C-alpha cells in the first residue's frame, strides 16, 4: 500500500490566533486527495468486513467501528511521519490504518492469530505498531492522553521535531486526566496535538446529557490554541491538521482540535443484542449520511480534471482485493500458543 506523499504546507503571511496560517481555501494536491480518499475507503471497507466477521464468529470479541469518522484520522495523519506518534481509543482501526498500519496484520490481530500485528494477543481494541508510531489503542477511556503527553515529552528531549497526536472521544473529554495533560502540556510546551472526535455520543448517552460546557473550551484556559471543525470535511480537517502540526513541530507547544462527526454503526458490534430500543433516530443517522466524508471527496474527485469515475472505480477494485487478501491471510493464521502471553507481561529483569 502506498504511503501518503506528504504535502509541504507553506506558511502564509496571514495570521490567525497569532499563529502561522495556511490559506483558508487551500486544497491538498489532487494526488494527495486521491491517496486520502483511498485510505478513507480502505478504513470504511475494512470495518464493514469486520462487522460481517463478528457475525461469522471469526473474531474472539466484539469490535467498535468508526464508519463516518474516517476523514479525521486520515486528514490529520497525512501530516505525520512514522517517527511521529499517535495514541488511539477503543475505536482505533481507522487511526491504525490512517497512520500507515498494515491491513493484513490488523485483520490477523483482530482474528486473534499470532501473525497479527501484536501477535494476536491484543485484538481489536489494542492494535499497535511502534515502527509506524502507533503507540497504542486502548480500552480505557482517556488513557491515550497521558501516553501522548509522555511521547511528546520524549520528542521534546530528542529535539528531532517529532510530534505526538492523541485521538480521544467526547466521553473521554470528561475524564480528569484531560485536565492534567492539558496543564502539563501547556506548562512544558509539549509538541502534542489533542484531537477530540466528538461523535455526539458516549456509549449510548448523547453528549449534551453528560457534558457541561464546550469541549474545545476546556483547553482555552491553558492558553492552548483550539479549533472546532467539521470532522466530516476532509479538506477542513487536513488544513487544520497542517496548522496544528506546524505549531507543535515549531516548538510552540500543544494544540487542540475538536472535530464534530458521527458514527453510523452503534457503539459496538453487539449493540442490537443489548439494547431493547435505539437511542438514535433513523432520521438522525440519514442526515449524517448526507454529509458522508467519503462521498463528499468522491464527488469532488469525480469532477476533477485529474481523476474521473474510471480512476475511482479502479481504486475501489484494488481495495476490495486488498481486503479479500487480508481476510484470507488472517483466516489462514494460527492462534498463539497458550503460555506465550505471560512472559510478555513483564519487562526483562522485573523478576
For 159, which DSSP code?
Answer: T
For the bound state, the minimum distance from the C-beta of residue 278 to ligand TPP, rounded and expressed in Å, comes to 16
Of 201 and 227, the one with the shorter C-beta distance to ligand TPP is 201
Closer CB to ligand TPP, residue 275 or residue 328?
275
Which residue, 218 or 267, is less far from ligand TPP as judged by CB?
A: 267
Torsion (CA) 64, 70, 72, 77 in degrees, nearest 10: 100
Write out the three cell numbers for 275. Answer: 439494547
Residue 230, H or E segment = strand 226-230
Cell digits for 299?
464527488
- Give the residue at shortest CB distance from ligand TPP: 169
The residue count for the chain: 351
205's enclosing H/E stretch is: strand 205-206
Three-class DSSP category at 197: strand
Report how far residue 119's alpha carbon sits from residue 108's, in angstroms, rounded to the nearest whole number: 9
Least Å distance between CB 174 and ligand TPP? 8
Q: By CB neighbour count within 10 A (0-12 exposed, 13-18 middle, 19+ buried), where does 242 fall?
A: buried
Shortest Å distance, C-beta 134 to ligand TPP: 17
- Output 171 or 330, the one with its CB closest to ligand TPP: 171
Nearer to ligand TPP, 162 or 207 (CB): 207
CB of 4 to ligand TPP, least distance (A): 24
Q: How far is the CB of 58 from ligand TPP (least distance, A)?
A: 23
Contact positions vs ligand TPP (CB under 6 A): 89-91, 139-141, 169-172, 199, 201-203, 267
Amino acid at each position: 500500500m502506498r504511503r501518503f506523499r506528504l504535502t509541504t504546507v507553506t506558511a502564509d503571511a496571514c495570521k490567525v490566533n497569532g499563529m502561522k496560517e495556511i490559506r483558508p481555501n487551500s486544497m491538498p494536491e489532487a494526488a494527495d486527495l486521491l491517496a486520502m480518499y483511498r485510505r478513507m475507503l480502505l478504513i470504511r471497507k475494512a470495518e464493514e468486513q469486520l462487522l460481517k466477521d463478528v457475525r461469522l464468529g471469526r473474531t474472539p470479541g466484539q469490535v467498535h467501528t468508526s464508519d463516518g469518522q474516517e476523514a479525521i484520522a486520515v486528514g490529520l495523519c497525512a501530516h505525520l511521519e512514522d517517527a511521529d506518534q499517535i495514541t488511539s481509543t477503543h475505536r482505533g482501526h481507522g487511526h491504525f490504518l490512517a497512520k500507515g498500519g498494515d491491513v493484513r496484520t490488523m485483520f490477523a490481530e483482530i482474528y486473534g492469530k499470532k501473525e497479527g500485528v501484536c501477535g494476536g494477543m491484543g485484538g481489536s481494541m489494542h492494535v499497535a505498531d511502534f515502527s509506524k508510531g502507533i503507540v497504542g489503542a486502548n480500552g480505557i477511556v482517556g488513557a491515550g492522553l497521558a501516553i501522548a503527553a509522555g511521547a511528546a515529552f520524549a520528542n521534546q528531549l530528542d529535539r528531532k521535531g517529532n510530534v505526538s497526536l492523541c485521538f480521544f472521544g467526547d466521553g473521554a473529554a470528561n475524564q480528569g486526566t484531560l485536565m492534567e495533560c492539558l496543564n502539563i502540556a501547556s506548562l512544558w510546551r509539549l509538541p502534542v496535538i489533542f484531537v477530540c472526535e466528538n461523535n455526539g455520543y458516549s456509549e449510548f448517552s448523547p453528549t449534551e446529557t453528560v457534558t457541561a460546557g464546550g469541549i474545545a473550551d476546556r483547553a482555552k484556559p491553558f492558553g492552548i490554541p483550539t479549533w472546532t471543525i467539521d470532522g466530516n470535511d476532509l479538506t477542513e480537517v487536513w488544513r487544520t491538521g497542517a496548522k496544528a502540526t506546524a505549531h507543535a513541530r515549531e516548538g510552540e507547544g500543544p494544540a487542540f482540535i475538536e472535530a464534530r462527526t458521527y458514527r453510523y454503526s452503534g457503539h459496538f458490534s453487539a449493540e442490537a443484542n443489548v439494547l431493547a430500543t435505539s437511542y438514535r433516530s433513523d432520521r438522525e443517522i440519514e442526515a449524517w449520511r448526507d454529509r458522508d466524508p467519503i462521498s463528499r471527496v468522491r464527488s469532488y474527485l469525480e469532477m476533477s480534471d485529474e481523476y474521473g469515475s474510471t480512476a475511482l472505480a479502479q481504486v475501489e477494485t484494488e481495495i476490495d482485493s486488498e481486503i479479500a487478501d487480508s481476510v484470507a491471510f488472517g483466516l489462514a493464521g494460527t492462534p498463539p500458543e497458550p503460555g506465550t502471553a505471560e512472559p510478555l507481561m513483564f519487562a526483562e529483569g522485573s523478576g
